[in-house]
Amino acid sequence: MKKTIILETLVLAAVLAASPAKATPLPLQGAKITATYNGSAAGMLGFDSGYSGGPGSNITGLDPSDISVEFLTSDFLFGFDFAEDGMLTVYNNDTIPFGSYSIVFDFGSSLSQAITSFTLADRNAIGGMPALSLINSHAIGLDLSNVT
């Protein structure tokens, strides 16, 4: 699916780490992820729902075949692909117009450890800087409003 849907690649690799000093990636096997886009659950379409809107369509597990993204924004501007090793790749499907692009991923109690930090591992393919935030021990935030 990534090959046909994604036109341009915005690589933003975030490592969910078990310890900020060690920066050991936090495995995501078995994770259930709830996502919002600009504060709206309806703004995210998950893999488990076939990217169709409706109640709970913003909740998904990892794609077991690792060939599809886990989430698409409802405007199809961004795709989010989580890997079992804790890496996140963000794809953009079009030129990013000026606007607000705030995303929250909440892993609830599905992780083996608390999230204590995450970092931007690669920003070679983007202009501007995404804002990264650790919301709590099981949720992270990305703001792509300043990214081109």
Q: Tell me the pLDDT tens digit for each residue of 58-89.
A: 999 999 888 999 999 999 999 999 888 888 88
Whether residue 47 contacts residue 69, with contact meaning beta carbons closer than 8 Å, is answered with yes
Full-model pTM: 0.83
H/E stretch holding 33: strand 32-37
Residues 90-115: tens digit of each pLDDT: 888 887 888 899 999 999 998 888 88
Find the distance separating the first CA and the last CA of the chain, reported in whole Å: 23
Q: What is the CA radius of gyration of the chain?
A: 14
Please report the DSSP string for 44-102 in residue order: EEEGGGTT--STTTTEEE--TTS-S-SEEETTSSEEEEE-TTS-EEEEESS---SS--E
The fraction of the chain above a pLDDT of 70, given in percent, is 80
